[in-house]
């Protein structure tokens, strides 16, 4: 099928509010700010694939962007490779996936993928291919630069006392939270922050080495793909330096890992750094 932007816009319109985080957004010393929330509008990818008619042998869907760069393989072969990412057909058929042409009620800005991008809610940023030019269903796995070489998380893990190295392509988002700011009213302080990466059940805060205490979730965006803001009443902390750490708890019971969690300690690459974030706050 060949579709114009007009063709896409004349199909059924669908929206999703989704917090998109770059998998390279670090946890320490503090987030680099590579995370944002928007309401995306477009048309259903699954409906389009259904209409195109996926063959029995199709297992993988590849999304190509318009941008390209030179890649050299084994110091021998240099090719001009288009940015491309793929996912399994099952993942692509998630009814929430969009071919998005609008961001926050306006035409998709060039920087965010005009005229159309993939919005894969619940996936790290890299999966959300911008400047889409081509979608193809394949009968085998796609192993382009951004699937198999770059955006690959390398971990040292233990299996029954043995060390194994795992190499996994960055895919679904991970549970994360951050204390964003501390405000003062009179002599009372309060902390606010955000949590995202999974449907959020709660957030806990730890001051210095005290026990974890529950934060209050403020009204969310009404979408389980969107971040949830939280506040914590700090009361009247003593003057001097304090640390503030937050941890998110997902609806499925998962807890945002501490930085010394084996899964994070064994990770050699900086992708998917979703460890708890500690900020240092000086109270005058």
Ligand X SMILES: Nc1nc2c(c(=O)[nH]1)N[C@H]1C(S)=C(S)[C@@H](COP(=O)(O)O)O[C@H]1N2
For residues 161 and 11, what is the distance between their CA atoms, to the nearest angstrom? 54
Q: Applying CB under 6 A, which part among 87-95, 128-136, 249-257, 269-277 lies near ligand X?
A: 128-136
Residue 14 β-bridge partners: 42
Binding mask 210-249 for Mo ion (x = CB under 5 A): ----------------------------------------
- The DSSP annotation for 145-197 comes to IIIIISSEEEEEEEETTEEEEEEEE--B---EEEEEEEEEETTEEEEEEEEES
Neighbours of 132 (CB within 10 A): 20
Examine residue 83 and tell whether it contacts ligand X (CB under 6 A): yes
Residue nearest to Mo ion (CB): 22
The b/e string for 19-56 (b: 16+ C-beta within 10 A; e otherwise) is bbbbbbbbbeeebeeebebbbbbbbbbeebbeeeeeee
Structure tokens at 210: 């005290």
Nearest distance from residue 25's CB to Mo ion, in Å? 8
For residues 55 and 272, what is the distance between their CA atoms, to the nearest angstrom? 34
Nearest distance from residue 129's CB to ligand X, in Å? 5
Contacting Mo ion (CB under 5 A), which of 22, 66, 138, 152?
22
42's contact among Mo ion, ligand X, none, with CB below 5 to 8 A by partner kind, is none
Examine residue 125 and tell whether it contacts Mo ion (CB under 5 A): yes
Contacting ligand X (CB under 6 A), which of 126, 173, 178, 277?
126
Residue 242 or 267: which CB sits closer to ligand X?
A: 267
Examine residue 125 and tell whether it contacts ligand X (CB under 6 A): yes
For residues 15 and 39, what is the distance between their CA atoms, to the nearest angstrom? 7
Examine residue 283 and tell whether it contacts Mo ion (CB under 5 A): no
Structure tokens at 190: 């309060």
Q: What is the contact surface with Mo ion in residues (CB under 5 A)?
A: 22, 125-126
Q: What is the contact surface with ligand X in residues (CB under 6 A)?
A: 20, 22, 65, 67, 83, 111-112, 125-126, 128-131
């Amino acid at each position: 099928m060949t579709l114009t932007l007009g063709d896409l816009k004349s199909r059924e319109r669908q929206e999703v509010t989704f917090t998109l985080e770059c998998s390279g957004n670090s946890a320490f010393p503090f987030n680099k700010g590579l995370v944002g929330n928007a309401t995306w509008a477009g048309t259903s990818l699954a409906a389009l694939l259904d209409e195109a008619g996926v063959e029995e042998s199709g297992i993988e869907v590849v999304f190509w962007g318009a941008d390209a760069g030179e890649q050299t393989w084994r110091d021998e072969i240099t090719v001009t490779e288009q940015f491309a990412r793929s996912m399994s057909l099952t993942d692509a058929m998630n009814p929430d996936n969009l071919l998005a042409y609008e961001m926050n009620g306006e035409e998709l800005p060039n920087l965010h993928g005009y005229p159309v991008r993939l919005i894969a809610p619940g996936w790290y940023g890299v999966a959300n291919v911008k400047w889409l030019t081509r979608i193809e269903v394949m009968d085998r796995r796609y192993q382009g630069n951004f699937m198999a070489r770059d955006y690959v998380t390398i971990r040292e893990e233990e299996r029954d006392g043995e060390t194994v190295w795992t190499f996994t392509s960055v895919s679904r988002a991970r549970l994360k939270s951050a204390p964003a700011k501390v405000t003062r009213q009179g002599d009372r302080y309060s902390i606010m922050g955000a949590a995202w990466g999974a449907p959020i059940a709660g957030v806990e805060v730890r001051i210095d080495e005290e026990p974890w205490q529950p934060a209050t979730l403020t009204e969310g965006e009404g979408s389980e793909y969107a971040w949830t803001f939280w506040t914590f009443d700090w009361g009247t902390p003593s003057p001097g330096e304090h640390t503030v750490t937050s941890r998110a708890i997902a609806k499925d019971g998962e807890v945002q890992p501490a930085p010394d969690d084996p899964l994070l300690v064994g990770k050699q690459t900086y992708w998917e750094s979703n460890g708890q974030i500690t900020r240092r706050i000086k109270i005058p």
